[in-house]
Chains A and B, each alone.
Chain A
Amino acid sequence: MGTWVFLAAGWVLLIALYGLVTSRNLIHAIGCLAVAQSSTYLLLLAVGYRREATAPVYSDLTPGTRPVVDPVVQALALTDVVVGATVTALLLALTIQLRKRHHTVDPQALIGLKG
């Protein structure tokens, strides 16, 4: 298996970027951005994985009896999720504004600047 897990994260990123580049609808593009971001969760959790290990939570585990996976990257993934949710919310609000002012959500139809 080895490197394939890391490469899967890269594949998810590239497929999401492909979606972004060819997108004809901003809602779809925001979805693609969320997929691109989820590739970072995959990479972070893959980096922190340890074979035969359990979750780094000691409420039902005596310390020292079992190895645990890396909690630092899990905390980073949590930060990642929060930032991803806020970015999605702001972009959706911007899309609503665009629909109101330019009457389209197709990024390829947005060519002129309007004051």
Chain B
Amino acid sequence: MTARARLAVFLAAAAVIAAFFTAECTDLPPFGTDSHPYGERAVAAALDRRTANVVSSVNFDIRAFDTLGEEPILFGTVLGATLLLRQARDERHRRAEAERVMPTTRLFGALLLPVTLVVGVYIVAHGQLSPGGGFQGGVVLATALHLAYVAADYRALKKLRPLAVLDVADSLAAASYSLIGLAGLIAGGAFLKNVLPLGTFNTITSGGTVPVLNAAVGVEVACGLIALLAHFLDQTIERTDPDQQRYGDT
């Protein structure tokens, strides 16, 4: 199909989508409406379970089963990237070089890395109270580690990153989510039931299983993301490009 024909087909399809979408939008409840029946019930349920952050309550308590389905997506991506980015037959391993870094950059990294790690743990631990949680905090934790790469070099990052340990931690965290669900089944009669004591509203121990599930997800996201980025970085930094040897291009 030529580019012109493809564009013509797209424009026809886009016109149909636009027409139906516009027609449906006019039938939606008005923007900013006062009637949010699901939202109001979710807020009531979250307050009932003493979880201050209603979004966390929806994700890890009311819809905890859906988040159980979301976790293997992340796990599968890490597995898929590991498989896709493995060393090919015509590639050679090359040791990462030590890089020169400006002293100010090095200082910036050395100061910011521990602060970012603490912020990551804080966001995971306070997921039931304030905006944040396992997914968001896990990303901050994984980013913190990569400050070592920005402020020093790839060798420094590799020393800070025990990949074998992280892979095991990733799997254990993914499994622990289901185990917490099974604990709910045994203790409370329903899978992923919030069986832990609910604690006092607006304190770090409130919310029952929400902070526990947040911690499991936080560990999984942090370890999974570090492993994922490790494969991409290995590809760029530690592999020779067979094309470069063959054609001499860049």
Contacts and interface: CB of A to CB of B under 8 A. Distances in A.
B55 A74 contact: yes
Contacts of A81: 135
Interface stretch (B74-82, B165-173, B190-198): B74-82
A10 B77 CA distance: 28
A17 B22 CA distance: 17
Contacts of B131: 55, 57
Contacts of A67: 34
B228 interface: yes
Contact of B14 (A17, A49, A57, A59): A17
B129 to A, nearest CB: 5
Contacts of B77: 86-87, 89-90
Interface in A2-19: 2-7, 10, 13-14, 17-18
Interface residues of A, number: 52
B53 A83 contact: no
Interface residues of B, number: 56
Contact of A93 (B26, B38, B85): B85
A72 B46 CA distance: 11
Interface of A: 1-7, 10, 13-14, 17-18, 21-22, 46-51, 55-59, 63, 67-75, 78-79, 81-83, 86-87, 89-90, 92-94, 96-97, 100, 103, 108
Interface of B: 3, 6-7, 10, 14, 17-18, 21-22, 25-26, 28, 30-34, 36, 38-39, 42-43, 46-47, 52-55, 57-59, 63, 66-67, 70, 73-74, 76-77, 80-81, 84-85, 88, 129-131, 135, 201-202, 228, 231-232, 235, 242-243
Those 10 A-B pairs whose CB atoms lie nearest each other, nearest first: A70-B39, A75-B58, A86-B77, A56-B54, A71-B54, A51-B32, A6-B25, A93-B84, A10-B21, A58-B52
